[in-house]
Structure 1
Amino acid sequence: MEMDNDVQSNSKGGFHCKLCDVHVPNRASLDDHLKGRKHKKLSSVRATRQAQEENSLFISGFARQTSQLQLADYFQQFGPVNEVIMDKEKGVYAIVEFSEKEGLQTALSNPHHILEGQKLRVKPREKKEFKYIPKKKQDPRSVQLSLEHLTQGLCQAASVNEQMLKVVESFQLSESEKKVRSLLVELLQEVFTEFFPECCILPFGSSVNTFDIHSCDLDLLLDLENTKTFQARNKGSSEQAGEGQSEDARSEDSILSDIDLSTASPAEVLELVAAVLRKCVPGVHKVQVLGTARLPVVKFSHRELGLQGDITINNKLAVRNTRFLQLCSGLDARLRPLVYSIRYWAKQKQLAGNPFGGGPLLNNYALTLLVIFFLQNQDPPILLSVNQLKELACEEEECVIEGWDCTFPSQPIAVPPSKNTEDLCALLAGFFSFYAQFDFSGSVISLREGKSLPITGFLSKEAEEGEGTDEQTGDSRPKSVKLGPINVLDPFELCHNVAGNLNERTQKAFRRECEESAKYCRSLQYQRKSAKGKVWGLVRLFASHSAGAQGSGREAERELSICIPFKAARLPDTVCSQLHSAGGLFREPWFEKVCCAVVAVLKDVLKCSVAPSDGSEVRDRHEEVTCGAVKDTATSAHMDATAGDVTLTDCIGPASKNGQRVQETNNNFKPEICTSSPTKEYNPEDTAHTGVKRLSSTGNGSQESPASKKQRLDSGSKHPTAQWHCLLWHKVWAGRRKVRRDLLKSLQGDSMPEGGSVELETQVTERIAQEHPGGEKLLEFTLEAEVLGVTENTRTVLKLTPGEDHLGLFQDFFHFLESFLPKMTEKLLEKLG
């Protein structure tokens, strides 16, 4: 076995990796671990450490004032020196690492080493067993003040407005901290100018965007545009003058002479930046180059100041974003207290501020943009959209970076003040209400336009391949956006979703916490100071998760409902194009496809009998099942629609034996869709959707204008619904895992379906039906589907109502459906054409 020395078996049949200090239960898990990133990385680190030990000497006996540079210069005579590590606290020993082992052997062969009159003791570096010691994770509350620390001061405040201002005071950088950061920037500017003449160090991000907090990183841009010009100018002059080089050219440092900035890659330049940091900036350590990141960066720490910093060379958009946030703060004083309070609220609710980096949590920049977007949508608006700000900028303020229009006024005085007079207390409550009712699944948040855009505008391939132009604003639409559960476009880089790292769990948690907080903000405990000295206002708002959120989940379980969310990123291209054509009315054609997939899962995968709940009898389970007619309860009309059999072939098309799709021959599913407020008559030629008809809401059958139709849909029209009566004939939820495992063992080669696929699950059900044939129904239930959206997340909600259940099986069946039905429906939607 690979890495025998690292792996130790235990009495229970498992294994322990001593290198990584990881326990695994079996051989397969061990193989996966040995091939994993963590084990490979630690193996590489160990090999590097061992090589360093082989080439290193332990030095002692030198004077306390001896510097690393002096030691390096002395031992350079024996061979190239890689690094000198000195115990700076006591100054009693040092480690000298040679680039080659020959240098170490030469130094050891010399019996006498004297440096500045002091005899050095030189011996090989002690070889220690490599042991992985995980870094101690930083407590998130060590970066920010704990709620317990804040409670007393917040409770003593006279109002919520005053509490929010106290939050700002508690977290923002002090003047002395800002001064220290400014001095470090000046030092870096001075040092880097020596190596990169005429360069410029520009701070950006949280340190300077007016939303700073204690211990925030120091983000820096090393602008080398002028340096490139300097280099090209001196190169040209040296070629013309020959030996008579200019004084500036002769004084140019070798670190710049060794590289052509105009052709060098960012990673190559950043390696030089890292070298300057390591050797020439006092107090800097832990320098690391991340050359493969989306934006290559050099990370470093400053020991005395306790700061972490980043240096990048190609992030001018981030600098412009910083200027934009500075402008927004200057336009309205209410923005900063709102942002600070909401950021801390999100951290307390574990929605943001991952102290260990990465992960599906909101970052501070995304939260800030959510607050700005909320203020753009107040009545009257508190902040203007980016497009409106652009119109107020003068010609000298026009700015285009990497092809993106980043124009806005440089000073707040150029923007008229807002007429909105709401106080901070009301705005904070309004923020939670706004996002508690926001359709994250069906919308894209655009600060540039100051409104939410239908997600369908970002679905079609045509929209991704080339920029479209908005007819009203004239601004370009993004070429490609990574869509997710929450979509927040960067104000300038319109193809960047700043919340693209989030998953559905985070989105649901954010919405749930907004709902709970909005409910709390309507209480007197939020609005008024307690006369009895109890906690109130922000303190209760910042408290950890409430029981109400868990209670809402139990309530949903009692209602026996299953949710199928709208996932734009998981839909096939053909469906995306169809929904793109429907624009803001995309929910109904999407709902039709969901209904098709749900019925197909119940009928073909789980072998239920399914029929529309229109009073007709359920057909025999061996017969084909039809879905009924389109109904309109508003006009009491009943229009017949051609009924069609629902099969997996209708939904995903027939498949050949090797699993490859073949051309579809029919798609005749027409679900029963009921709505009490029709909004649009879909033309199959326009939308490529069939089986759904819409009536005019007027009694005389006259048609509404397109504008009226769209307004009705967006203003809260009744949601379309569909309803079926179902019979279950086999205990399809019992023992599926064992049957699936046995089935996979029996299938070989091309006949083996993909794990977790619809085809495999269908065969599992058939095997269960064969092993446990039954002539009578097990249970019956009614399934009602409804599409929701506009003022809440776009999703289809399936409500199950049990009928006859003499054996008491329905509850187990429902729990099985809770996970199985959404998963299988999603797989069918992915294949749907």
Structure 2
Amino acid sequence: MEADSDIKTTPRGFQCGLCNVNLPNQSSVDQHVKGRKHQTLRTVRSTRKTQERHSVFVSGITPLVSQSDVTEYFTQFGPVSDVVMDKDKGVYAIVQFAETESLQATLSRVEHQMGGLKLRVKPREKKDFKLIPKKNASQNLQQALERLKPPLCQLVSVNAQVQYVVERFQLGENEKKARGLLVQLLQEVFVEFFPDSQIQPFGSSVNTFGVHSCDLDLFLDLDNTKVFQAQAKSTAEQAGEGTSDDGRSEDSILSDIDLTSASAAEVLDLVAAILRRCVPSAHKVTVVGGARLPVVKFHHHQLNLQGDITINNRLAVRNTRFLQLCSGMDERLRPLVFTIRHWAKQKQLAGNPSGAGPLLNNYALTLLVVFFLQRCEPPVLPTVDRLRDMACEEEECVIDGWNCTFPSQPIAVPPSRNTQDLSTLLFGFFTFYAKFDFAGSVISLRQGRALPITDFLSQEQPEGEKPTKLHGPKLGPLSLLDPFDLSHNVAGNLNERSQRGFQRECQEADKYCRSLQYQRKSTKGKSWGLVRLFTPRGDVPQSPAEQLTISIPFKPASLPEALRDRLRAAGGGFRLPWFREVCCAVEGVLKGVLGCHLAPSADAAWGAESFVDAETSPGSLNASMNDSCDSVGSQGEGAGAAVAGAKRPLSSSSDAGESPEGKKPRLSKRRKPEPPHWICVQKHAVWAGRRRVRRELVKDSDSRPEGSCVALETKVTARIAEKEPELGGPLEVKVQPQVIGGTESTKAVLTLEPISDEAGVFHDFFHFLEAFLPKMVETFLEKDASDL
């Protein structure tokens, strides 16, 4: 087996040479070999080896030789899969054939001549596949801090430090001119293929917030081209000819495509072909069709610049104009944005080079700063609705049905009465978001306030459907509405961990900004001000308690409509009824699906009712919530609320008349009750071989994802219990549920602690539940009781 050859034994365990990771034991090896990373690298290695076996190295060509010339010549030996050329020097190419016979036929020819050139053809060099390790992010961040530290420490105030950050990172005049020349070149190239088209830059390069080496975002506007094409067709039809007498239409690419009926993918493929063949120094041209807004990515080698071209992002151009207006309205916005962006990058909250993943993007960070300035007292920036009212009739703008009206010039907006300096505003940003209730709020720059998340529960679009005006945004741990497209959550890519990280760093920064180390320059030459604020976040190891915790996040999109309506009616107290439903579902999974024996703890304050009977649990939960977690109902706190029993009755009159001596024993025994929990007992390894048993029951004809059907998963458990022997001793686990909310992302948290584990299987059981339980709980919440 190929995977076995990658695993080597070491004095401390095992090592995977393919993935370059150390593994402590055989169980870890088995899990690693089945993991996605290992399997992906095996596939990549296999593909690379196949490419090497079917490729030849060709030298002796010149820069005048095109990729199509090379393809045409070598096609005589067989089908050509790909041709990779050295575009800068133009001296070599790699030709990949589809069949081995084509490779042999090419190498068997003694001499190759193409267009008067004598080519040298040899087998492609075979190299060992190695995983290129990623650059040490923390080391790079530390180096960035070391470069900034000396000049920042010499400045006399935090305000001066903030201004220096802008000077240090902003785009220089030469960079702006170079980008402008590239835009002009692309305009000249594309107008030859798409008559009357326009290339419009947007994003960081032109919105006044651009930094060195930021991407060049471009919008290819084809509206005028569509009009030209329609007129050309009309003229041709009137003349009774197949083409227009306008020479441009014959020379353009429009003879091959109808823009009114062509798909975005077809047009982007043509854009990519033009970049490859007609734009000097354009490399690594790829079409990203799976993105929310499909783009063509390219790298301009001479300028060392990444670029994106889109054909359907007119709103982004308008957003750029909006940020330009905001920057012109108040000169404090740019320094704050530059400083907060660099802070977020140093703390690994933003700055993912690929632009994907669960990190904040620069646009979202900028909007967070704008929203904070809208909420200052008095406001530094007006709301989007207020700007719309200030615009004149000629400035009205509607794009894709969204009102994007605002004044074209900052002079039309009255100046702010807020006089706070940059140091105070930066401090205020961290304080504002350190206490912000992300879980219960949707940030609206249009209204300049946080809207209750319950207002959006019945508006959220179904999963898999494109957002429209009829549906609300995709809600997440951090919900931040675009200023104009109100169906778009610009921070929708964030997960709970990213949101928690952002808020935790805001809390740490808020705490630091209250100290003299932030406010005053050190007389002893020590780090102060922004230097300490920019210190990279260290890797914080997880504690065992964190490793034994299972989170079930609040996902509005997966909730049934009836439950959504109930939560919406609950308003700010939506966490309580949702948590009640989750606890019922958890009990249903553990007891009904996995066959565990559940009982409430003997010494916890469960009261008269328990959760053994799912029908009585809602009332019990409701009472417990009001009793032990009043803070959760108010959105200002983020403490967890444990599940408990009914409220304890008030003392009777007879108790009031009891003698002091009679009360002493009660007072001496009084203690804070242990948070209520379940005692879960499992006698079978219901996780072992579960997928294999599922496949046997499903028989391919009724394939369903794991955790999507309660009845099927129950049968799987029964089959395992029937065929497999019991564990060496029953596994007894304490399961303590609690709800987290307020400033944290709303979620139910289950803490698992082994009480009795003679067979040593607790960790296997935990890791199984970690993936299985949230899926099954979601299934319980999605379906009605009759469907279960």
Alignment TM-score, normalising by the size of structure 2: 0.75
Alpha-carbon distance between aligned partners in 2 of 1:278 and 1:736, rounded to the nearest angstrom = 63
Shift of 1:584: 3.2
- Matches of 1:771 and 1:46, distance apart in 2: 48
Once the two structures are TM-superposed, the CA of residue 171 in structure 1 deviates from its matched residue by 0.7
Q: Deviations over 1:653-694 (max 9, x none)?
A: xxxxxxxxxxxxxx7656424659999xxxxxxxxxxxxxxx
Q: Check whether the contact 1:171–1:214 (CA below 8 A) recurs between aligned residues.
A: yes
Rate the CA distance shift 1:8–1:196 in 2: closer, same or farther, 3 A.
same
Q: Which residue of 1 aligns with 2:491?
A: 499
Q: 1:204: how far off?
A: 0.8
**2:152 maps to which of 151, 154, 157:** 154
Letter in 2 for 1:85: M
CA contact (8 A) 2:496 2:745 kept: no
Could you report, residue by residue, the CA deviation over 1:472-529 in whole angstroms, capped at 9, with x for unpaired residues? xxxx966142222111122222222221222211122111111111101111111111
Aligned to 2:306: 308
In the TM superposition, residue 212 of structure 1 has moved relative to its aligned partner by 0.6
123-132 or 498-507, larger mean C-alpha shift: 123-132
> Counterpart in 2 of 1:672?
623
| Structure-1 residue corresponding to 2:346 | 348
Q: How does 1:463-474 map to 2 (within 5 A)?
A: 464=461
Answer yes or no: is the 8 Å Cα contact 1:601–1:821 preserved in 2. no
Per-residue Cα deviation, 1:72-97 (whole angstroms, up to 9, x for no partner): 499879979986835854x7666789
Secondary structure of 2:246's counterpart equals helix
After the TM superposition, which residues 322-721 of structure 1 pair with which residues of structure 2 at under 5 Å, given as runs?
322-460=320-458, 464=461, 479-545=471-537, 566-569=554-557, 571-593=559-581, 605=596, 607-610=598-601, 626=609, 646-648=612-614, 669=620, 671-673=622-624, 675=626
Structure 1 residues 379, 820: CA separation in 2 closer, same or farther (over 3 Å shift)? farther
Distance (whole Å) between structure 1 residues aligned to residue 359 and residue 401 of structure 2: 30
- Provide structure 1 residue ranges, at least 5 long, that are not aligned to the other structure: 467-475, 617-624, 628-644, 652-666, 680-711
- CA–CA distance in structure 1, aligned partners of residues 242 and 728 of structure 2: 95
SS at match of 1:178: helix
1:122 matched to 2:119? The reply is yes
Q: How does 1:682-761 map to 2 (within 5 A)?
A: 723-724=644-645, 740-741=687-688
1:554 deviates by: 7.8
Change over 3 Å in CA distance of 1:748–1:360 after alignment to 2:
closer
Contact in 2 for aligned 1:444/1:453 (Cα 8 Å): yes
Q: 2:668 maps to which residue?
A: none
In 2, distance between residues paired with 1:296 and 1:538? Answer: 38
What residue in structure 2 maps to residue 68 of structure 1?
Answer: 65
Residue 773 of structure 1 and its aligned partner are, at CA, apart by 8.3
Tell which deviates more after alignment, 165-174 or 25-34. Answer: 25-34
Distance of 2:440 and 2:689 partners within structure 1: 41
Q: Residues 810-821 of structure 1: matches in 2 within 5 Å? A: none
Worse-superposed segment, 386-395 or 522-531 = 386-395
AA in 1 matched with 2:613 = T
Q: In the TM superposition, what is the alpha-carbon distance from 1:575 to its structure 2 partner?
A: 2.0
Say if 1:371 and 1:444 are closer, same or farther in 2 by CA, change over 3 A: same
- Mark the CA change 1:243 to 1:110 in structure 2 (over 3 Å): closer, same or farther: farther
Paired AA for residue 414 in structure 2: P
TM-superposition CA deviations, 1:383-404 (whole Å, max 9, x none) = 2222222222222222222222
Change in 2 beyond 3 A, CA 1:579/1:792: same
Q: Which amino acid aligns with 2:780?
A: K
The answer to whether the 8 Å contact 2:8/2:15 transfers is no
Task: Give the structure 2 partner of residue 200 of structure 1.
Answer: 198
Cα contact 1:572–1:831 (8 A) shared by 2: no
Change in Cα spacing, 1:296 to 1:612, as seen in structure 2 (3 Å) is: same
User: Residues 286-315 of structure 1: CA distance to partner in whole angstroms, max 9, x if unpaired?
Assistant: 222223333221111111111111111111
Change (3 A) 1:827 1:745: closer
Q: TM-score scaled to structure 1, two decimals?
A: 0.71
Letter in 2 for 1:456: T
CA contact (8 A) 2:202 2:320 kept: yes
Q: 1:737 to 1:157 in 2, by over 3 A?
A: farther
Matches within 5 A, 1:250-269: 252-269=250-267
The offset of 1:459, in angstroms, is 1.9
Deviation of residue 588 (structure 1)? 3.7
What CA distance in whole angstroms lies between the structure 2 residues aligned with 1:719 and 1:113?
76
1:682 alignment partner in structure 2: none
Give the AA of the match of 1:609. Answer: P
1:59 is matched with: 60
Equivalent position amino acid for 2:154 in 1: Q
Identity of aligned residues (%): 49
**Residue type of the partner of 1:448?**
R
The number of equivalent residue pairs is 723
User: Contact (CA 8 Å) 2:166, 2:338: kept in 1 or not?
Assistant: yes
> CA separation in 1, counterparts of 2:433 and 2:550?
22
Q: Match of 1:831, as an amino acid?
A: F
- Check 1:602–1:430 CA distance in 2 against 1; reply closer, same or farther (3 A cut): farther
Per-residue CA deviations over 1:699-748 (Å, capped at 9, x if unaligned) read xxxxxxxxxxxxx9678899998634779999858x98957539999999
1:754 and 1:75 map into 2 onto residues whose CA distance is 50
Range 822-831 or range 764-773, more displaced? 764-773
Match of 1:382, SS?
A: coil
Letter in 2 for 1:188: L
> How far apart, in 2, do the equivalents of 1:825 and 1:111 lie?
65
C-alpha contact (below 8 Å) 2:55/2:95 kept by paired residues: no
Give the 3-state SS of the residue equivalent to 1:500 in structure 2.
coil
The answer as to whether partners of 2:609 and 2:616 remain within 8 angstroms in 1 is no
Contact 1:218 1:309 in 2 (8 A): yes
**C-alpha separation between the residues in 2 aligned to 1:561 and 1:113?**
68
Computed over aligned residues only, the root mean square deviation of the Cα atoms, in angstroms, reads 5.6
Which of residues 749, 772, 780 is equivalent to 1:831?
A: 780
CA 1:99–1:750 in structure 2 vs 1: closer, same or farther (change >3 Å)? closer
Amino acid at match of 1:587: R
State the distance in 1 between where 2:102 and 2:243 align: 39
Offset from partner CA, 1:370-389 (integer Å, 9 cap, x none): 11111111112212222222
Q: Structure 2: state its 5+ residue gaps.
A: 646-672, 700-704
**Matched residues in 2 for 1:7 and 1:275: separation?**
43
